[in-house]
Structures are given as structure tokens and as C-alpha cells.
């Protein structure tokens, strides 16, 4: 693909905002301290910032897709207000297979977009001319690191959210990230120190 750019793909819960489980009230979505400034540093470095998130609430009939959209509007508003930061694109997978707990027929199905599958990354790369092999994925779960590996990106595991539990083996499975970061600010420092940028 000609004229491609590098991207930093960001998980949502536990990476950008506090991990509080399924967010039923908009006001319960709050940024982790330092996140807005970290995203702004990526913006200033001209790295494409793309949210990629599994959000199975609609498939579980906890709330509708409009609520997920409203949460993302709040997220982008908080990033802008706190530090003038922006997300360049948002990709969200609301789907869940029946065996994993999907009950709403509209969103209950297997999907190539659901992590650790690479559908969201491939779609973003196609839509925005991104070079996946020169890009980064930042997440707090083993599935984020697995998706990065499956797509040829470098995977970073942050210790916020579920990150510490993944590292201790208490959640999901052991992951082999390219870098373990305290938080998004630490991850961004590692990304920006990459000599090829």
C-alpha cells in the first residue's frame, strides 16, 4: 500500500478510561490520569490514533448501540477538554457469539472484528492507509496483545485495567507483549523513543 502511515491503536477500558465493568451511566466513564496528555503527544508526533474496542454490551442486551456511541462521544470530549487531544478514528465490535453470552439477535454472531481477531485493525488500515507492521497496539488484556501479534503490530500491555492480572496469570492467559508499560504515558514514551519514527 503506497503512502501508508504508522498508527497507535488504543483499547478503551483500562487504557484510556477507568475500568469499571459495563458502563451503564455516561458519567461513569472517566479518563485515567495522564491519558489525555499522552494521546496529545501521539497527535503531536503525527501518529494516527485509533480506538479499537470490544464492546459486547449491546450483544448482551445491557444497553443499545446508541449508548456505546454516546460513551465514545464523552470519551472524545474529555480528551479534547483535558489536553486538546483527539482520536483519529474509532472502531468498535459490539458482536458476541451465542456461546460467549450473546443474546440480542441483532448483535449475536461470530465476528472477525472481535479481538483477538484482526478485523478492526485490517479495516482501519484499509480505510486510512495504515502500515500495520510499523504500528503499535496498546491494551490491558492478553487479547489485545494477541491481536497485535496476529496483525503484525507491536503489542504493548499496560498495567492499568486488567494488565497486572494478565501478567500474574489471574486473567485470560499469559501474554508476550513487546513492552510492558505502567500506563499509557509510559507506553507513549516507549513508542516515541522508537528510532524509526
Cell numbers for 50: 485509533
Q: Is 13 annotated as a binding residue?
A: yes
First-to-last C-alpha distance (Å) of the chain: 19
Contact predicate 32/38, CB 8 Å:
no
- Is residue 11 within 8 Å of 138, Cβ to Cβ? yes
* 153 annotated among ligand-binding-site residues: no
**According to the annotation, is 53 in a ligand binding site?**
yes
CB 165 within 8 A of CB 148: no
Total H helices, total E strands in the chain = 6, 6
Reading the block at residue 157, the C-alpha cell is 500491555
| The three grid cell numbers given for residue 62, joined into one nine-digit string | 445491557
Q: Per the annotation, does 162 bind a ligand?
A: no
**Does the annotation place 178 within a ligand binding site?**
no
Residue 74 marked in a binding site: no
Tell me if 139 is assigned to a ligand binding site: no
Q: Cα(91)–Cα(11) distance, rounded to whole angstroms?
A: 10
- Output helix, strand, coil percentages for the chain, rounded to the nearest 5: 35, 20, 45
Active site residues: 11, 13
The answer on whether 5 is annotated among ligand-binding residues is: no
CB proximity list for 147: less than 8 A, separation 6 or greater: 52, 115, 116, 117, 118, 121, 137, 139, 153, 155
Residue 93 annotated as lining a ligand binding site: yes
Residue 54 counted as an annotated binding residue: yes
Is 21 annotated in a binding site? The answer is yes
Annotated binding site for Zn(2+): 93
Residues tagged in the binding site annotation: 11-13, 19-22, 53-56, 93, 114-115, 140-141
* Binding positions for substrate: 11-13, 19-22, 53-56, 114-115, 141
Amino acid at each position: 500500500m503506497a503512502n501508508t502511515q504508522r498508527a497507535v491503536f488504543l483499547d478503551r477500558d483500562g487504557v484510556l478510561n477507568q475500568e469499571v465493568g459495563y458502563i451503564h451511566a455516561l458519567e461513569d466513564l472517566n479518563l485515567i490520569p495522564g491519558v489525555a496528555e499522552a494521546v496529545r503527544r501521539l497527535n503531536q508526533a503525527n501518529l494516527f490514533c485509533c480506538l479499537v474496542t470490544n464492546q459486547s454490551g449491546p450483544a448482551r442486551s445491557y444497553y443499545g448501540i446508541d449508548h456505546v456511541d454516546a460513551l465514545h462521544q464523552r470519551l472524545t470530549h474529555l480528551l479534547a477538554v483535558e489536553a486538546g487531544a483527539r482520536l483519529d478514528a474509532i472502531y468498535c465490535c459490539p458482536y458476541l457469539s451465542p456461546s460467549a453470552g450473546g443474546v440480542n439477535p441483532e448483535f449475536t454472531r461470530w465476528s472477525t472484528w472481535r479481538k483477538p481477531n484482526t478485523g478492526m485493525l485490517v479495516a482501519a488500515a484499509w480505510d486510512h492507509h495504515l502500515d500495520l507492521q510499523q504500528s503499535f497496539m496498546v491494551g490491558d488484556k492478553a487479547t489485545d496483545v494477541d491481536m497485535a501479534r496476529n496483525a503484525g503490530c507491536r503489542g504493548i500491555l499496560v498495567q492499568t485495567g486488567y494488565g497486572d492480572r494478565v501478567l500474574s496469570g489471574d486473567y485470560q492467559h499469559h501474554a508476550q507483549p513487546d513492552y510492558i508499560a505502567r500506563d499509557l504515558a509510559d507506553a507513549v514514551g516507549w513508542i516515541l523513543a522508537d528510532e524509526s519514527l
